[in-house]
Amino acid sequence: MDQEARIRELFGDKDLKYLKNKNRGGSNNTKGNTYENYFAVYRIALLSPEVLEEHKEIQISSQVLAFVDDLIIEYVNENIIWHYQLKNSSDITWDKGKKTNQSIADDFHKQYQLNKSQSKESELHLVVSYQYLLDKLKADIPTSLEQYSRVIYFPYEDSLEEVLKKEDSFRHAIEYLCAFDNPDPDKIECVASVLLGAWTSSTKSNSVKDILKKAQASTPSFIRSFSKEWQLDPEVENILSKIEDFQYNLTKGFLHWKYKDGLDLGTFPYSCDTEQFRKFQQCIKKRKPTCFDELEEFLPASI
């Protein structure tokens, strides 16, 4: 049974029409809503260790036909689904619009019933941008929703940089994805920005892994390699090890180097599992530089 037929069977034509209108309005604004986009990037970053290390298949969607539709995260092989409704307003209540059966509480209740009809384990989240609303909405949550609903806070700011400063868990999640250990703020912002670009240019529904790959393909992205084994070509290692005063390491799949204790330093802008890095190694093996002056022409400007 497709989604429309299931909604009609469970709730009738009136609610199906309401959902279609809601979805149409949301779709017109989707990818243009700063608050929702920043939160989506935050969730993608938080999910990345499960995707890259535990190889979980996680689908992320926005503005699909659902009662709680701003962001939907589904663990495909585990029948677990999380829904997020984001409200960047100071005037939020659970029962606003109750007379028309279009309250947040009603949407949450019906979304849970819809998920249950598909044998999916649900958790529904109301996301607010005002700290005082967090406590108020937690206290006021209807008893019928308590089992499967949560209220969470996520700050609103005009720039990713400011959100990263305010939300430690966001910054730490981006640091995990970054090619650098203890990355500088500009590298963290670069990773967050390319992730935002990958998200906003994606379709309504995509896998988290595909969005991460899309972000990684940006230049520069400074997003870590997704491989577990990072290794230089043995011949390249041998050549580099013989260059006087030259030091390097392969961290998170990126080649970081410095010459004469930092007199010159940099990072190759592509990870070791890319075609660009393969060509770089080919050039090193072909030209066999014996000093830093000869090697320097293959290295990027300091970044």
What was the pLDDT predicted at 25?
60
The label of the residue with tokens 């990713």 reads 160
Answer yes or no: are the C-beta atoms of 277 and 259 closer than 8 Å: no
The label of the residue with tokens 């960047």 reads 88
How many beta carbons lie within 10 A of that of residue 295, not counting itself?
Answer: 19
> pLDDT tens across 141-176, in order?
999 999 999 999 999 999 999 999 999 999 999 999
Question: Cα–Cα distance between 215 and 178 in angstroms, integer?
Answer: 12
The SS3 assignment for 2 reads: coil
What was the pLDDT predicted at 24?
67
39: amino acid identity, one letter = F
Spacing of C-alpha 107 from chain mean position:
25
Ranges of residues in the chain whose predicted pLDDT is under 50: 28, 31-32, 98, 302
What was the pLDDT predicted at 9?
80
How many beta carbons lie within 10 A of that of residue 36, not counting itself?
Answer: 23
What was the pLDDT predicted at 31?
46
- Spell out the domain ranges in the chain: 3-216, 234-298
The label of the residue with tokens 């938080």 reads 46
What was the pLDDT predicted at 96?
66
What's the predicted TM-score (pTM) here?
Answer: 0.86
Question: Cα–Cα distance between 90 and 87 in angstroms, integer?
Answer: 8
Question: Cα–Cα distance between 59 and 51 in angstroms, integer?
Answer: 10
Burial label, 169 (beta-carbon count in 10 A; 0-12, 13-18, 19+): exposed
What was the pLDDT predicted at 144?
95
